Amino acid sequence: MPTEFQAALLDWYRAEARDLPWRLNPDPYPVWISEIMLQQTTVAAILPAWERWMRRFPTVDSLAEAPEQAVLEMWQGLGYYRRARLLHAAAKAVAESGFPDSVEGWQRLPGIGRYTSAAIASISQGILAPLVDGNVVRVFARLHARPEPANRLEPEAWDWTASVMESGDPGAWNQALMELGATVCTPANPRCLFCPVQAWCQALRQGVQAECPGPKEKPAFVTIGHEIAVPLEDGRVALRPAGPDEWWNGLWVLPWTQVEPPERPDLRFTVTRHRISARITVGSDAPDGTQLHPLEALPPMPAPHLRALRIALSRS
């Protein structure tokens, strides 16, 4: 029998849940793909990628058999490309031994940690597994009027979700908590008037929603410069594969070197804690270690280098 709090949130979820495509048929494989894509990535950003992916790799076997290059190609634009390589490795393991049937089993697969194992197990297999993500930490912080930064609250949030876990439909309960954080209990301008659990919210009672949780303390940004070459040769561009200890490992990049930040950059972008100001130089000779690729059939490339290429083309 659900508590009043649980019933209030679940009723709201059943009435208001967004109809996301992986919710139509919550089998392990489609849910797994959605959860890996959703790691540090918003729902809006992954929607087209998920549809594309499911058409290209409709089953775990089709994914396991695909060449790595094709997998990375389907991941383009999502970032954190390591996720794609780990997912590919995990798919090979599952094609061999079948889907796990426990949280521990899921967590043994590459790319699946504490959160993702609980999410897949509860949503696609009905396993009673509490979880915490960025949304749930925020909901916890607001309900209990906790002003600490989210990363400090995370351990307590895990205790809390375990204590309020609803056993009737674990997948719906976990998604209800996250859906609340994603659509109502948002980082900025929470819609408290429409919140199904406002009666239980200490932050609302005290009027401190905006202060809970506190701002995440982040390391200072480092500003660096890149010199990016765009070697063009009759409709082709010279690219080299990014090495294992390099940014964008596994993708093809334009020849680039780190330099002092230029006075007047052609392009700015951010990679984790680095703010990069880049100069773009258009050339005609292909440096060593590069390979010419036709512009109409480019291999997987990081988004900033695609932008650099477009800028170079618009100039020439």
Partner DNA sequence: AATTCGGGGGT
Partner DNA sequence: ACCCCAGAATT
Instruction: Look up residue 86 and give its two tokens.
Output: 């780990």
Q: Which of 4, 16, 35, 211 is catalytic?
A: 35
Among positive and negative, which fits the CA dihedral 305, 309, 314, 316? positive
CB of 316 to DNA, least distance (A): 23
Of 131 and 312, which has the nearer Cβ to DNA? 131
3-state helix, strand, coil in the chain (%, to 5): 50, 15, 35
Smallest separation (angstroms) from DNA to the CB of 69: 16
- In a 3-state reduction of DSSP, which class is residue 253? strand
Residue 35 bears catalytic tag: yes
Q: Applying CB under 7 A, which residues contact DNA?
A: 20, 34-35, 38-45, 77-82, 86, 110-117, 119, 133-135, 138, 150, 175, 178-179, 181-182, 186-189, 215-216, 219, 247-249, 269-273, 302-304
Q: How far is the CB of 42 from DNA (least distance, A)?
A: 4
Query: Do residues 300 and 69 lie in contact, with contact meaning Cβ atoms separated by under 8 Å?
Result: yes
Contact 175, 13 (CB under 8 A): yes
CA distance 44 to 38: 10
CB of 2 to DNA, least distance (A): 20
Number of H helices, E strands in the chain: 13, 7
Catalytic residues: 35
